[in-house]
Amino acid sequence: MSYKNIIINLDIMQRKVFDKFNTFSQLQFKPADEVWKYYPKTGARNYNPKTMFNEAPIVETLLLLDYIKTKGLKPTFWYNSSLFIFNDDLYSIVGANKVTKINLTDTIFSSMREAWSHPFFGILEQILVNNGGKLAKPNMQTTENAGCMNKFYALKELFKVRKEYLGDFILPYNIKQNEIPTFINFLKENMGEKVVFKYDCIQEGKGVIFKDLSKNSSTDEITKIMQNNKVKGKEVLITPAYEIDREYRCYFTNHGRSKKVFSIKQRVNSEDIDVFEKENIQIYKNISVKWHEVKTDSDVFKFGSKLTKEMLKYMSYDTGCLEFAKTKDGKIVFFEVNQMAGPLPFEGEDTENMTEFYHSIFEKMLK
């Protein structure tokens, strides 16, 4: 693969380290032997803090610049950038009020030390590949973040079929408070005025917030939601507020080639609540829910089971509860996968189905 550009992400550096890195700009693209003269050797006593540096990220970045000279790559430094992914593209907010689409053709996005466990990078990696580029760092395993309640790990896996199951979405990274008005305008123009903010790694029903962007109070409220969008466990996914026709909660196991759906429930939320007036939606607390059993011989079950198995082709979950919806205009929209959802049996046949579900889990566990 022939790459033309390289973005070197320096977010790993604290501000004082980044400032020091800039004071050694004369070392950029210098041979490694020259770079090492400014970095203390183990056991040496000649370190001069006025003329040398001892921060590993600085020396690693300078060595990378020396190495890429032979690759013909054009480097760009990014530090503390405000980024978001909208569907299949990467955008940046520049100067607090300008949104720019980034050309990622034949581009490497690199870092030496950043863990990249934020789900933003799992999607960015696939966008780069689609544009002939790549995400690059020494230990790519550190991009994995698949905790039990993690909703965005499935998002990363389903991105391959985004149009079929994900629809429109925005995944922000490091949006700053003074950039929120610009960000909201982008949301309005590209998603409409009614949107949903979904937190990652938060218990079901406690991480979903509906917002009407036409209301004057939305800027302050969204600023509060977006305060920590870069922090692990506080990641935010933004989608349109779809009008739902049917919602499916499908209990499955996915062992090797065997994919089976044991039980499906349908959820109908109360219609006597304005979801856009609530700080967040908490099932059974500020929103009432009705559950409907779906009989295994019904057309609804066949439809839900078929969709579940199709999505499982792209996901690595061995067991869990897949939730998705069919909108009033016929779209299929993925909601989440809970790797261990709580049991929700109806009396009779469905209790037997749930027992079989758990026995399938135990069989895999105890093999």
Query: Under DSSP, is residue 47 helix (H, G, I), strand (E, B) or coil?
Result: coil
Residues 68 and 122 in one domain: no
Together in a domain, 65 and 174: no
Q: What is the mean pLDDT of the chain?
A: 87
Domain of 299: which CATH number?
3.30.470.20
| Amino acid identity at 155 | L
Q: How many helices (H) and strands (E) does the chain have?
A: 10, 16
Q: 277-336: per-residue pLDDT in tens?
A: 566 665 555 666 788 899 999 999 999 999 999 999 999 888 889 999 999 999 999 998
Whether residue 174 is found in the same domain as residue 40:
no
Instruction: Tell me, yes or no, whether 95 and 161 share the same domain.
Output: yes
112 within domain boundaries: no
Half-sphere exposure for 128 (CA within 13 Å, toward CB) = 20
Is 89 found in the same domain as 76?
A: no
- Tell me, yes or no, whether 237 and 249 share the same domain: no
Confidence of residue 217 (pLDDT cuts 50, 70, 90): confident
- Determine the structural domain holding residue 288 and report its residue range: 244-365
Count of residues for the chain?
367
Q: Which of 241, 269, 297 is the last residue of a domain?
A: 241
Tens digit of each residue's pLDDT (9 = 90 or more) over 46-105: 788 889 999 999 999 999 999 998 888 999 999 999 999 999 999 999 988 999 999 999
- For residue 39, is it within any domain? yes
350 and 272 in a single domain? The answer is: yes
What is the distance in angstroms between the CA of the first residue and the CA of the last residue of the chain?
42
Domain assignment present for 111: no
Q: Please indicate, yes or no, if residue 33 is contained in any of the structural domains.
A: yes
State whether 26 and 147 are in the same domain. Answer: no
Residues 181 and 313 placed together within one structural domain of the fold: no
Residue 293 shares a structural domain with residue 331: yes
Do 204 and 168 share a structural domain? yes
DSSP state of 41: P
> Does residue 188 lie within any of the structural domains?
yes
Number of domains in the chain: 3
Residues 255, 178: one domain? no
Which of 241, 274, 306 lies at the terminal end of a domain, its last residue?
241
Question: Which of 193, 220, 241 is at the close of a domain?
Answer: 241
Distance, in Å, from the CA atom of 77 to the CA atom of 248, rounded to the nearest integer, reads 45
